Amino acid sequence: MLRQYLVPLIVPLAPLATLHAQGPVQFTVSDDVASCLKVRVRPESSAPDLVCLAPGTQVEAVGIAPYWRQIRLQDGSTGWAAKKFLEIVAAPSVAPTTDDREDAWLEVHVVDVGQGDGIWIHTFDDNIPGNGRYEGYNIIIDGGPRDTRYPMLRYLMDKAHTRAVIDALIITHPHVDHYPAAWGILDSFEVKEFYDSGYPKTGPTWKNFLARVAKETHGGQPIVQHIGREAFGIPDWGSELQVRFLYAYTGRQEGFGTEDQTWENNASIVFRIDYGSQSILFMGDAEGKKRSGSADAAQYAERFLLDSLESGALSATVLKVAHHGSETSSTLPFIAAVNPRYVVVSSGRKKYGPRFLPDRSTLQRYCDHNDSTRIYRTDQDDATEHRTEKTDADGDHIVISTNGKETRIQAYSAGNPITPTACVP
């Protein structure tokens, strides 16, 4: 395991954003609120109320947090209101700049869901809706396994509110450690768009999930479904980002595995976000070899990516490693092509035969490639804490923040901030 220590929070998360000197931004309370809009002392649905504003009330925005706007009240005090129910009245008199902002932090939260994947991406919000840049979008990748603790949903609800908007839900592939808990996200939020690899999964569980997706609406409009890579297009998550889907289910099994399990992993959606000079590569469970095979040569999805993409297309500042760090991922040619500065592993304490994931041998390959690589894990200290599959979602979250010029990562062990000190698997 990584040699790590409990330390003060020396790598801060992206701060709450305040408005630049660009003139006030005016909003009005939407008619969509049931009776009035609650203004709270903090940007949390559990925070105490300050006042409740009637529809049509005009307010001035002075700050922003994910899902919330800080507004100035008539008596000069400030509070927080759900931004979903605030409609812009007048933008600043000075047009928003297209220059990059030093404080414009993109956040990627890799949530500890136990054995599985659950990721929340939040783009920076400049408090000026509709200008196409820094719009505060929210994207979910997977959601984790079905779990009565609901770790992914709880994590989101701590920062959001019921019926808040998820701009995109991406299910990388239909394995049960990736999608079942996303049902709770559909029930608690309004999801605008859905991405599915198109893998022909059979069985009632996945079929029922897709039926639930089809019933989803946002603002009275049906959810937009992107089924299969050809339907993905190029998502618009703000002009400050470049988002590129690199791979998904190819429609054939030959060359992508000899068993259903492997074939399904190799149907995973793989995509990359570029923000300025920084980039993040999300691999789902895409594989590169058989467990018993050599890491010297790439197979399966990794082979496809290496063969089909131009030079540099896989290079990334941060890699969300594939398949929970299994030995079936991360071949040497792939590692060389990505050349990550940071490696993030989403895993838990579910036992697969004699082993838990990640495999030490897999992480060792990253350290051998570059011993300055930093590895972050959502199973941090789970083994020494004697966690089990029922207790492993214990707050080992990883928060990646980048402003397009630098990347900061804050990791946690059981909710306490930690910092890796060496690349030691």
313 lies in some domain: yes
Query: For residue 282, what are the CA distances in angstroms to 59, 181, 211, 323?
Result: 39, 19, 26, 11
Query: Which tokens in the block code for residue 402?
Result: 């980048």
Give the phi and the psi of residue 204 in degrees, each rounded to 5.
Answer: -70, -30
Measured CA to CA, the distance from residue 403 to residue 104 in angstroms comes to 5
Indicate whether 326 belongs to any domain. yes
The whole-number pLDDT of residue 16 equals 54
> Per the domain annotation, does 116 fall within a domain?
yes
Residue 415 lies inside a defined structural domain of this protein:
yes
Q: Using CA atoms, how far apart are residues 26 and 276, in angstroms rounded to an integer?
A: 30
Q: Are residues 28 and 117 in the same domain?
A: no
Residue 401: domain span: 103-420
Q: Tokens 């083994």 — which residue? A: 383
- CA–CA separation, 60 and 102 (whole Å): 24
Domain boundary among 90, 113, 135: 90
pLDDT at position 230 is 97
In-domain check, residue 189: yes
- Return d(Cα 344, Cα 320) in angstroms, integer: 5
CA 424, distance to chain mean position in Å, is: 25
Q: Please give the mean pLDDT across all residues of the chain.
A: 92
Residue in the structure block whose two tokens are 């895409």: 286
Looking at the fold, whether 144 and 41 belong to one and the same domain comes out as no
Indicate whether 56 and 181 sit together in one domain.
no
- What CATH number is given to the structural domain containing 113? 3.60.15.10
In a domain, 18, yes or no: no
Q: Is residue 148 part of a domain?
A: yes
- The number of folded domains in the chain is 2
The DSSP code for 121 is E
Report residue 111 as tokens. 């949530």
Contact 72, 59 (CB under 8 A): yes
Judgement on whether residues 28 and 177 belong to the same structural domain of the protein: no
- Looking at residue 425, its pLDDT comes to 81
**Confidence check: pLDDT of 190 > 70:** yes
In order of 189, 306, 331, the CA distances from 314 in angstroms are: 33, 8, 13
Q: Is the pLDDT of residue 3 over 60?
A: no
CATH code of the domain in which 83 resides: 2.30.30.40
Element containing residue 398 per DSSP (H, E)? strand 398-402
- Reported confidence tier of residue 7, pLDDT bands at 50, 70, 90: very low
Q: Does residue 355 share a domain with residue 311?
A: yes
pLDDT for the residue 98: 66
Single pTM value for the model: 0.94
Confidence band for 147, pLDDT divided at 50, 70 and 90: confident
Q: Please say whether the beta carbons of 368 and 326 come within 8 A.
A: no
Backbone angles phi, psi at 261, to 5 degrees: -60, -50
**What Rg value do the Cα atoms of the chain yield, rounded?**
22
Give residue 97's pLDDT.
60
Q: Which residues pair with 275 in a beta bridge?
A: 241, 278
